[in-house]
Every structure is written in C-alpha cells, then in structure tokens.
Amino acid sequence: MARQGIKQSLSKSTHIGYAIGSAGTGVFSTVPGLLLLSFMVRQLEIPAVYAGMVLLVPRLWDVITDPFIGSLSDRSFSRWGARRPWMLAGSLTLPVAFFLMFAVPDLPTSSLVWYILFMYILGTTTFTIYQIPYIAMPAEMTEHYHERTAIMSWRIALMTIGILIGGAAAPELVAAGGGGREGYALMAVVIGVVLFLFMFGSFIGTRRVPNVRPIPSTASFREQASAAARNRPFFILLGAYFIQVLGIGVMLAGVDFYSANILGDPGQTSILFVFLIGPALITMPFWVRVGRRLGKLAGYMICTALFSIGGFSLMLSRPDQLWMVYLFVFVMGAAYAGTQLFPFSMLPDTISSDTVRTGLRRAGAYTGIWMAGEKAGFAVGPAIFAAILALTGYIETEGGILIDQPSLALSGVRIGFILLPAILMGASLLILRKYRLDDETIAALGADSEDTG
C-alpha cells in the first residue's frame, strides 16, 4: 500500500511554527544536563556516585517510555492530527515537573536523592510525551528530500536559541537569586514559564500542518521495533548519533566543573556555552548549502571531524589563554550545529524509506527508538563524568565554594570535558562510513515497491 503522503511545499510560517517547539526542547535538554549534577554535588552535598545514579535512572526509564509513546502516537488520530494532542499534554505538564525538580524541600540527604530522582523521572516522562510525537512530525509534513533539511535548519536554529537560554541564562538566574537553593528555585520558575511558552507555541504554530491519517496496521510495537531493526540505514545513523550524544552528554556535565576548577571562574560557564552553541545561528545557512551541494552524509562527516579536531586542540590549550579556549570552543560549536542538523535531516529519510517500502506509517515508533538512544546517551554521559570525578578523587563542596582540588581530579575534569568527547566524535566516523541512503535510493525503493505491487 502506498503511503498517503503530503506532496506540497510548506510555508515558512509553518516551518517556524513547528521549529519554535525546539526552543523548549533545547532548554529542557540543556539545563538538567548542565546544572543538575553541580546542584546536587556542590549545593546539596550529595556524593557524586549517588548524583550520577539520579542522572542515569530517569534516562534509562526513557529507553522504555520513548518507543512506547511513539507507538501510541502512531495509532492516534484526532481533529488535531496524530501528534499535536500529545504535544499539548507535554507542554502543560513538563514546566511543573521542571520547577519541582529544582525547588527542593528541606530534607535529609538520603531523602533528597529520592526526591530529585522521582521529580527527574516525572520530568523526563512528560518531556517524552511532547518530544516523541514532535520529532516524528517532519517525516509526515513533507515528502521533499531537501525541504526536510530546510525544516530542520529552522528547528536547529530555534533549538540553539533554547540551548542558549538554558545554558547561558539559567546560571545567571541562579546567581541573580543569590545562589544556593533560593537561586535555583528562582531559575526553575523562570525557565518553567519559558518552557511553556515555547512548547505551547509550537502546538499553536503547527495547526496548519496537514494531517496524515494512520494507515491501518495490526502490527504490535514489538513487530514495529523488529521492522526498525531491519532498517539498516536507520540503525547505522542511530549508532553514530548515540556515540556522539554520549560525548556531548559528558561535555555538558563538565562545563561548570571546567569553568570553576580549570579556568578558576564559575562565571565562564555562560560564556563557554555561548561560544559552543551560538555559532549555530551563524553557520546554519552554510551547512544547509553544504548539504545540498555535497550531500547530507558528507556534511555530517565534515562537521563530526571538525568537532573532534577542535576538541583535541582545546585539550592542548592553556587555561590562562582564554582567547584560545574561546576560539577552539567556537570551532567545536560551528561543527556541533552540523552534527544536529544533518542527523535529524537524515532521520526522516530513513523513516520515509521504510514507508515507501512497506506502506506503513510508523514514524512515531522509529522516533521513539531514536530518542530513547539519544536520551540514554545524555544520561550515560553525565554518569560517566560523575564516575570520572569519583575515580580521580574530586572533593564535594558545600554551597559551591571553590577549593583546591587534587591534581588528579583536575586531570579528570579535563579528560571528561574535552578529551573523551573528542575521541567519541572521531569514533563515530567509523560507523557513518557505512551509511547508504539518499534521495535517489529512496526513489528507487519507491519504484521497486510499485513494481512489486
């Protein structure tokens, strides 16, 4: 059965209306990864090993819930379409869960561990309710191979703004609130409101996205997952992206520690974030042109290699030469923009190839599996960084006070923040070399499917 596809091009206002939701997902993806470990270790005096567990468990829970929600959204349909009701539910519940995650009550340390663990699980679950259907939409919004890149360029640009808000503004809000628990509570209120505005705004902004009715299918989720496992381009892309996300997760968890312990100034956290994320707003049009001229895969590999080279260069730089630190972080940021644009532009292609081949609509199931991999990477990354801190003898502090750390602990911060992400990025290139899928291949699959039919 051929897919009931959407042939027409979409308006720019629809591109932007969809993309604004990524500002919200960028905020939530960034703030816990950036501040939650530091909040627990440096403010609440929770030992690093327990803090790492708090970061890991909710993300592993996502490995279960992401594919499940994706499969459910595949089977949903309403006057708002299959995806938008889920987006509405997530936009209403996530901001509350986020606030409760950082507005902690006065409890003993052991109780605080369980409290934050529960609230983080609640937050990631409500995030899943929004994000999985949201990410599934581009595979159904258009069948145009290069328009998906255009949609993703807007999405990554808005996500960059969200990441900048989360990465640069959140630490400043904590400081504006006087630091400590009060500062984090103030940050949680403001960021919670921002989350709602962006996510609910995307629900409104996608009201003109054409609805694609579900193609009748009795396949269970297990059967859908099995079919996804047979989609070779999808799993090659997922494998490479997971390794990269693992590196980014380690790096995000280390920004605050690198700024405070290596650069000697916690205020550098916001500056480094601007240099890492900000270049996406400048380089995104360039990477779109690279993708059109050289292909999405070539562009993806170029950006991956550039990020890795920037990381190795940063490892050799001297902390007292801040201009050099900023330069290499900027190079990594320019490359990071492409490592977000290209895989999320290629993901709908892998889903489309399955739809062309089988006639079934299961973008939600594919997206659920993809996002489960991404969240697992973002969970394991900070846990790895926390383990590095524990193994190298990092000393927990009260109230975020800076103290002299053992030299081995300082080396651990540098390895976790710089060297390990660069190595993981380079390793992902070995997997990407095996990827084979472009617009001509998808067209050939469609021709074969019609001939078979």
Distance (Å, whole) CA 207 – CA 82: 12
Residue 90 near residue 31, CB atoms below 8 Å: no
Residue 116 has pLDDT above 90, yes or no: yes
* pLDDT of amino acid 453: 47
Mapping DSSP to helix (H, G, I), strand (E, B) and coil, where does residue 362 land? coil
How high is the mean pLDDT of the chain? 82
Residue 239 has pLDDT above 70, yes or no: yes
Q: What is the mean pLDDT of residues 37-57?
A: 84
pLDDT in tens, 64-85: 888 888 878 777 777 777 788 8
- In which band, very low, low, confident or very high, does the pLDDT at 227 lie, cut at 50, 70 and 90? low
Domain spans of the chain? 14-211+221-452
pLDDT in tens, 127-136: 999 988 888 8
- In which band, very low, low, confident or very high, does the pLDDT at 209 lie, cut at 50, 70 and 90? confident
Distance (Å, whole) CA 386 – CA 398: 17
Radius of gyration of the chain from its Cα atoms, rounded to whole angstroms: 21
Distances (CA, A) of 125 to 85, 97, 265, 307: 16, 10, 35, 31
Tokens of 266: 């916690």
Q: Which fold has domain 14-211+221-452?
A: Growth Hormone; Chain: A; (1.20.1250)
pLDDT in tens, 155-171: 888 888 888 888 778 88
- In which band, very low, low, confident or very high, does the pLDDT at 218 lie, cut at 50, 70 and 90? very low
What is the DSSP secondary-structure string of 33-73? IIIIHHIIIIIS---HHHHHHHHHHHHHHHHHHHHHHHHHH
Please list, in sequence order, all residues whose beta carbon lies within 8 angstroms of the beta carbon of residue 236, skipping any fewer than 6 positions away. 431, 432, 434, 435
Residue 7 has pLDDT above 50, yes or no: no
By CB neighbour count within 10 A (0-12 exposed, 13-18 middle, 19+ buried), where does 281 fall? Answer: middle
How many CB atoms within 10 Å of residue 147? 18
- In which band, very low, low, confident or very high, does the pLDDT at 222 lie, cut at 50, 70 and 90? low
- In which band, very low, low, confident or very high, does the pLDDT at 212 lie, cut at 50, 70 and 90? low
* pLDDT of amino acid 370: 83
* pLDDT of amino acid 215: 55
